[in-house]
A and B are shown apart, each in its own frame.
Chain A
C-alpha cells in the first residue's frame, strides 16, 4: 500500500478485494470531488450528499471497471452526472427537505472562509479576493461552470469533458471560452483584472 500508486493500480487491488486500496483512493479524491460538487451546486449539504453518492457508485461499479478508463475521469463523470440529475430534480427540493432538514436550514455559500478571529489585513484581503473569485465562478451559467471546473479543477481533457457532459468537443471548448470571458468581465467589474480592451484600439 503506497501513496504513490496510481489510481488504476489501487482500483485493481480494490477489485481483488482489498478494501484499503479503496481507502487510499477515497482519501486522494474526496476533497477534489467535494470541492467540484460544492462549486457546481453552491450548496454544502447537497455537495456532501453527492460526493458520498459518487464514491458509493465507485464502490458499486468497481467490479465492472476496466483499466482502460481513468479512475479520475470516471469519478468526476459520476459526480457531474449526479449533480446534473439533482439539478433536474430541484423542483422536488421541498420534498427532500422533509427527509433531510439541515441543522438550521442554513445554506452557506461556496468557499465561505471559516469564521475566525481578527485576521491580518493581508489574510483578510486574500479572503475577500477568494470570495470574489468564488462569486464570479458561481455566477457563471451552469453549463459553462461545469466545463470550467472539469477542466481546471478536475483536470479532465476536453475530450473527456465532452464525454462527461455529452456534447462534442468543440462545444466544450466554446463553453470554456465563454466561461473565461464571463469571468473576466465579472472580475474586471470588481477591479480585479483589467477590463477587455475595447475593439478599435487594436493594431492595424
Chain B
C-alpha cells in the first residue's frame, strides 16, 4: 500500500516533517467544532429537546476557540497549518492572521448571541427541519472562508455557507420565503460561478492556488498574464456577494422573508465574508490592479451607500428598511477598500467588525419590536416606548451606532474613512459618507419616532398573546449592544486589531513568509 512511508524517498522535499504543536490546532478548531456538532445534531434531528443544550455548548466552544486563536495570533504572529502534511503550495493551507482571526472572533460572538436569541425565535418544527445543523454548518463555512489560505478552498467555503444559508432561508417553507430564496439563490450562484471561473483562469495563468504563493507570482507576472481581467472578475464576483451597487438587489429582496434570527445572521455575517474576500484578494494579491480599479470601486462605494440608504428611506416595512441599511454600510467598507491606504483599510476592517455586531443586534431588535407591537410596518407599529422603555433604550443606542453618531461604535470607522478620503483629496467620497450618515440618522430616527414615540391612534385591540418579553429575551441583544458601547467608548483594542489586520494585507511579506519560509515552496 502506498501510504506507508517508503524509506528511500526524500520526504523532506514534499512533506512537513517537524511535529505540529497542539496550539496550532487552533487554526482548524473553528471549522472542525461546528462541523462535528452540526453532524451530531443532524444524527439526532428528532430529539429537539437536546438541540438547545448541544448548540449552546457548540457555540460557546466555537467562541472560545476563536478568542484563543485571536489571542495567539496577536501574541505569536500568524499560525499556518497545511492539511495532510503536504508542503505548501501543494497542500491546502489554513492560515490565521489578524484579519481572519479578528473577523472570526467577532463572527463567533455574533453567533453565540444569535444562538441565545434563537431559542425564542425557532420552534420545534424549525429545529426538526435542522435549524441548528444549518446554522453550525454555515458557521463552519464562514470560519473556513476567514481562515483558509487557498483560493480554491475559499470558493469551497463560500459554497458551504451558501448552501447552508439556502436551508436557513426556506426554514418555514412559506410562499414569500421561497420567492426570496429563489432570488437570493440565483444571484448568489451567478456570483459563485464567476468566482469559480476567475479561480480557473488564475490557476491556468499561474499554476498555483495558494494565496501566499500567488502573491509572489502575480507580482512577478509583469504583463505575462491577464491579471487586470482576473482582478476585475474577482471584484465583480465578490462585490455581488457583498451586495455592492449595482449588483445588490438580491439582498433587500430576500432578507426580510426568513425568520428574524436568520436575517440577523445573514446581515451580520454573510456580506462581510464578501468584504473579507475583496480585502484579501484585491489588496493582498492584486495591489497594482486595485490601484487602477480604485476609482471604479470608489464610485461603486458612493452609489452603494447613498442609493442604499435612499432605498431604506423609501420603505415602510422596517425589516426591508434595515436590509437597505445593511447595503449602505457595505458602501462605507468599499470606500475604505477604494482608498487602499493604511487608514482606509483600517477603517474598512473596523467598520466590518462594528457592522457585524450592530446589524445583527438591530435585526434582533426589529424582531422584538415586531413581537411586542404585532407588526413590522411603520404604518401600524406605535406606542412601544410606553410599553417597553428598555427596548427603546436599546434601540436608541443601536440606531446611533448604525448611523455613525458618537459615542457608539459606528463613529470611529466613519471618522477614519472621512479622514482617509480627505487625505487623498477625494472630497466627494467623504461627502458621500457624511451624507449617508445624515440619511441613516433620518431613516432610523423616523423608525424610532413612529414606532416608539407615536401614540396609538386607537387602543391596541388585539395584542399578540406571545411569550412575555423577559430579561432572557433581551440578553443576546444586550450582549451585542454592550459590545457596541464598549467599542464606542474604548476603541483602542479593536482599533489595534483592525490596524494590525490592515497591515497584514497591505504588507503581505509576513503572511507569505509564514506559509513559505525563506525561499521554500515551488
Co-assembled chains A and B: no
Which A residues contact B (CB, under 8 angstroms)? none
Which B residues contact A (CB, under 8 angstroms)? none
